[in-house]
Amino acid sequence: MIDILFQDDFILVIDKPVGLASQPGEGVVGSVVSVLEKQLGYRVFPIHRLDKDTAGCMILAKSSAAASRWSGILSEGQTHKRYLAVCLGAPLAERGIYRDALRTGERLLEAETAFRRVAVFGGFSGEEKSVSMERFGISETRGPEKDAWTLSLVEFRLGTGRTHQIRRHCAMHGHPIVGDDRYGDFTLNKRLKKEAGAKRLLLWAWGLELPDLGIILSAPPPHFVDFLDRWKAAPHLESLIPRLSGSGTPGVREKPEDSRSGPNPPAREVP
């Protein structure tokens, strides 16, 4: 069953599980759309998509008319999708905007990704041989400083919605996302999979800002939490997310009864 974070008469915001495609397609076995339609008993329309291995907030409409309206709201920049990623290396600046154009098919399209470096932690040798780590902290047997890699936790906000935009911009700027099997560092991904349990893409759509609703929060994916817990200096998400969302403690405000259906939970919002 897919968790519903918010719904009204027009849309659903769901907590997309990792490993599930957003919508049906050739070769796709199961998707958010097919699972939700079976769960709810009516047709749903995705407003945007998340990569199969990205978990978190995703919007779907309850009708084609609502889908058209909310697609316009997204394109007008009235909503803000917020992501966290664990990167190999780190952005040079604490915050900034990547505006590198991205090629989609025959077209070169403008793309805008705002970033904020939240934390830098870890440390392991860039050498091919395995190193001993104490709870995956900095090893005493690490290689030369020039060969040492660190990790970073980076927040992103999208100004455009190009395919794999965050993943591509991160790779282009020298800090690919851990577990990215398409644009990432394959050698270091292999090491982190073996030594630190990084078996999936470490990109999470943690929050969604909707007009007049504040920030809707998704649950931290278990694989994301597990990876961060293995590093001594990594931040704890339970204390970090309230800070990023601009509130001391995320709250729960119930919607009117007629805006919900069945046993679905009320909206999780930050006032």
Which residues does the annotation mark as catalytic? 51
Alpha-carbon span 18 to 236, nearest angstrom: 20
247 within 8 A of 222, measured Cβ to Cβ: no
DSSP states of the chain: -PEEEEE-SSEEEEEEPTT-BSS--TT--SBHHHHHHHHHSS--EESS---TT-EEEEEEESSHHHHHHHHHHHHTT-SEEEEEEEEES--SSSEEEE---EEETTEEE---EEEEEEEEEEEEE-SSS----STT---TT---GGGEEEEEEEEEEESS--TTHHHHHHHHTT-PBTT-TTTS-HHHHHHHHHHH---S--EEEEEEEETTTEEEEPPPPHHHHHHHHTSTTPPPHHHHHHHHTTSSS-EE-PPPGGG--TTPPPPEEE-
| The two structure tokens encoding residue 31 | 């998707």
Report the 10 Å Cβ neighbour count for 38: 10
Phi and psi at residue 243, to the nearest 5°: -65, -45
Task: For residues 104 and 108, give the distance between their C-alpha atoms in angstroms, rounded to a whole number.
Answer: 6
